């Protein structure tokens, strides 16, 4: 069963949301040479890249060239500065061409063609933009970067020979190695820092990403010759210059290639792309909870419910064979590390608050972190989930029951701790209660009205428990049927609070 990559799926509801060798061998000298230029270029938003999960027309291709000539400014390139100054003096402050400008530019391209020069600074900035990709865009990012590499490499082969070709190809390999290392290391370090992966597990994820990238490169290399022939023959007046537009040709490669099988584990890899996406989604959850704990927004009891709710969804994915056995083992053994990081964050927050308190206070209003409160509630929820046949929403009820007793015990142990006692009693008492809408602000009421107009209810109009239940039902509806559309509901993996 394969994950449908159509939409984003794991943001918390109601919250803001030889390559294996050359890949590592980035040259320090090259990095030093590249760095000054890349710093002059803004980081590119991958979601705004033409061709990244969107169409890329002939006009788009021409517009990209026009923009490079007319709006990109480099301090060491006097002509580019002069062009922009002339444009501003004429009163045209647009960074996109007018209809007349693009029409005239297309006429010029059809007449003069497009040379084989590579926009190296643009390519560097483009590859750098994939250093921090969200899990739901993992496959699209691998496809995009692999196709760009193949298209640029093919462009060099068709336009250069001899020493000049070898020099430019070497430059491409170094830039490519730096870019892909950024993508792979960025994703692996994200998993490692939020799931507490060992170096061995992190390296297994890194190897799998390397192999997945290599697979896509092989697919595109096998197609590039035919795509060139097709573009040249079917492109009409634009066919010749389009073949030298590497970004446009990369898009044609992605369009013609068969979609990657997300659930397939590569021959020399350990995890599938679907496995790595699932790990990324879990890492997102854990990151959010760890950050919430560090900011003092969640105490031990609330963290226990939230982690338990996320881990029940993870268990459901495992039981339905939506991730491999190896990834299931990795995620299960990473849970204690993730939980510990969140509780350590609570401890640091409490210590910082106590350190900033008045020295005249006889007792600390913050007290030490209560790991037993977390453990009792978390285990109660997971045990109920396994006993009741996998009903995560119902299992939350067991967490509430145990939570009342666990937090009451913590209060009895240290009645001066402000996070227990009355504030926690109120949290449990209102857990199943629908909020009083009369207490809403005017802006909240307007939001409620707008949501009602489109047939949706605000989370604020539901009890905390109802939000958990709604999320669980939505999650189940997505994973049932012929495929699991994780991207369709990026919000369904997170708790409702």
Determine the pLDDT at residue 85: 78
Closest among 154, 160, 153, 157 to 175, alpha carbons compared: 153
pTM of the model: 0.80
Q: Are 309 and 468 a contacting pair, CB within 8 Å?
A: yes
Q: Are 415 and 385 a contacting pair, CB within 8 Å?
A: no
Q: 44 is written with which tokens? A: 């590119």
Please list, in sequence order, all residues whose beta carbon lies within 8 angstroms of the beta carbon of residue 464, skipping any fewer than 6 positions away: 430, 431, 432, 496, 497
Determine the pLDDT at residue 443: 73
41: number of Cβ within 10 Å: 16
Does residue 203 surpass a pLDDT of 70? yes
DSSP 90: T
HSE, CB side, 13 Å, CA atoms: give it for residue 147: 26
Does residue 88 surpass a pLDDT of 60? yes
Mean of the pLDDT values across residues 378-395? 96
Q: Are 411 and 424 a contacting pair, CB within 8 Å?
A: yes
Extract the runs of DSSP E, i.e. beta strands, from 287-357: none
Computed from CA positions of residues 277, 45, 129, 146, in that sequence, does the dihedral angle turn out positive or negative? Answer: positive
Of the chain, the percentage scoring pLDDT greater than 70 comes to 78
Q: Taking the domains of the chain in order of start, what are their residue ranges? A: 19-256, 295-429
Q: Tokens 């492109």 appear where?
A: 235
Q: Point out the least confidently predicted range of 108-112, 327-331, 394-398, 418-422.
A: 418-422
Q: Of 359 and 431, which is predicted with more confidence?
A: 431
Determine the pLDDT at residue 229: 95
- Residue 198 CA to residue 410 CA, distance in Å, equals 33
Q: Point out the least confidently predicted range of 13-22, 52-61, 110-119, 146-155.
A: 13-22
Determine the pLDDT at residue 90: 72
Mean of the pLDDT values across residues 271-283? 93
- Residue 496 CA to residue 225 CA, distance in Å, equals 51
- Residue 154 CA to residue 250 CA, distance in Å, equals 10
What's the 3-state SS for 462-484? CCHHHHHHHHHHHHHHHHCCCCE
- Residue 54 CA to residue 45 CA, distance in Å, equals 14
Which residue intervals of 196-271 are DSSP H helices? 199-234, 239-242, 246-256
Q: Return mean pLDDT, the chain.
A: 82
Of the chain, the percentage scoring pLDDT greater than 90 comes to 59
HSE, CB side, 13 Å, CA atoms: give it for residue 164: 9
Determine the pLDDT at residue 76: 77
Q: Are 382 and 311 a contacting pair, CB within 8 Å?
A: yes
- Residue 177 CA to residue 26 CA, distance in Å, equals 6
Q: Of 469 and 48, which is predicted with more confidence?
A: 469
DSSP 46: G
Q: Point out the least confidently predicted range of 77-86, 168-177, 255-264, 382-391.
A: 77-86
86: number of Cβ within 10 Å: 11
Q: 22 is written with which tokens? A: 């050359």
Please list, in sequence order, all residues whose beta carbon lies within 8 angstroms of the beta carbon of residue 437, skipping any fewer than 6 positions away: 445, 448, 461
At 65-75, the pLDDT tens digits run 988 887 767 77
Does residue 87 surpass a pLDDT of 80? no
Determine the pLDDT at residue 17: 36
At 132-167, the pLDDT tens digits run 999 989 999 999 999 999 999 999 999 999 999 999
Q: Are 388 and 395 a contacting pair, CB within 8 Å?
A: yes
Q: 50 is written with which tokens? A: 């033409």
HSE, CB side, 13 Å, CA atoms: give it for residue 92: 14
Determine the pLDDT at residue 458: 56
At 436-468, the pLDDT tens digits run 766 667 776 676 666 556 555 555 678 999 999
Mean of the pLDDT values across residues 291-313? 95
Determine the pLDDT at residue 484: 52
Classify each residue of 331-362 as buried b or exposed e, where b means 16 or more C-beta atoms within 10 Å of its C-beta.
beebbeebbebbbebbbebbeeeeeeeeeeee
């Amino acid at each position: 069963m394969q994950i449908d990559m159509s939409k984003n799926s794991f943001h918390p509801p109601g919250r803001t949301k030889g390559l294996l060798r050359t890949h590592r061998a980035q040259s320090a000298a090259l990095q030093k040479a590249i760095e000054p230029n890349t710093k002059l270029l803004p980081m590119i938003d991958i979601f705004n890249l033409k061709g990244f999960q969107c169409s890329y027309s002939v006009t788009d291709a021409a517009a990209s060239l026009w923009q490079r000539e007319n709006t990109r400014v480099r301090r060491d390139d006097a002509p580019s500065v002069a062009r922009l100054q002339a444009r501003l003096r004429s009163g045209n402050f647009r960074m996109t061409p007018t209809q007349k400008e693009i029409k005239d530019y297309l006429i010029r391209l059809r007449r003069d063609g497009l040379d084989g020069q590579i926009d190296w600074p643009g390519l560097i900035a483009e590859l750098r933009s994939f250093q921090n990709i969200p899990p739901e865009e993992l496959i699209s990012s691998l496809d995009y970067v692999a196709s760009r590499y193949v298209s640029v490499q093919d462009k060099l082969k068709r336009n250069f020979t001899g020493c000049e070709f070898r020099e430019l190809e070497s430059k491409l390999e170094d830039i490519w190695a730096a870019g892909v290392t950024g993508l792979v290391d960025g994703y692996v370090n994200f998993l490692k820092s939020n799931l507490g992966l060992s170096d061995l597990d992190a390296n297994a994820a890194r190897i799998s990403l390397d192999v997945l990238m290599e697979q896509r490169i092989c697919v595109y290399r096998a197609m590039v010759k035919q795509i060139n022939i097709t573009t040249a023959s079917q492109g009409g007046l634009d066919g010749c210059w389009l073949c030298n537009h590497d970004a446009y040709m990369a898009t044609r490669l992605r369009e013609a290639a068969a979609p990657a099988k997300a659930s397939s584990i590569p021959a020399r890899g350990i995890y599938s792309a679907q496995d790595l996406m699932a790990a990324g989604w879990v890492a997102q959850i854990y990151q959010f909870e760890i950050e919430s704990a560090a900011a003092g927004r969640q105490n031990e009891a609330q963290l226990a419910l939230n982690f338990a709710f996320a881990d029940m969804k993870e268990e459901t994915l495992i039981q339905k064979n939506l991730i491999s056995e190896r990834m299931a083992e990795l995620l299960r053994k990473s849970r204690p590390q993730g939980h510990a990081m969140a509780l350590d964050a609570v401890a640091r927050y409490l210590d910082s608050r106590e350190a900033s308190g008045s020295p005249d206070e006889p007792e600390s209003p913050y007290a030490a972190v209560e790991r037993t409160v977390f453990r009792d509630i978390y285990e109660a929820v997971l045990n109920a989930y396994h006993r009741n046949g996998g009903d995560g929403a119902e299992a939350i009820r067991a967490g509430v029951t145990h939570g009342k007793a666990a937090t009451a015990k913590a209060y009895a142990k240290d009645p001066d701790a402000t996070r227990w006692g009355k504030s926690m009693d109120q949290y449990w008492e209102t857990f199943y209660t629908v909020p009083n809408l009369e207490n809403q602000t005017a802006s909240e009421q307007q939001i409620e009205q707008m949501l009602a107009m489109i047939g949706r209810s605000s989370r604020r109009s539901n009890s905390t428990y109802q939000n958990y239940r709604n999320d669980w039902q939505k999650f189940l509806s997505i994973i049932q049927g012929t495929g699991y559309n994780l991207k369709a509901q990026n919000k369904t993996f997170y708790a409702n609070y």
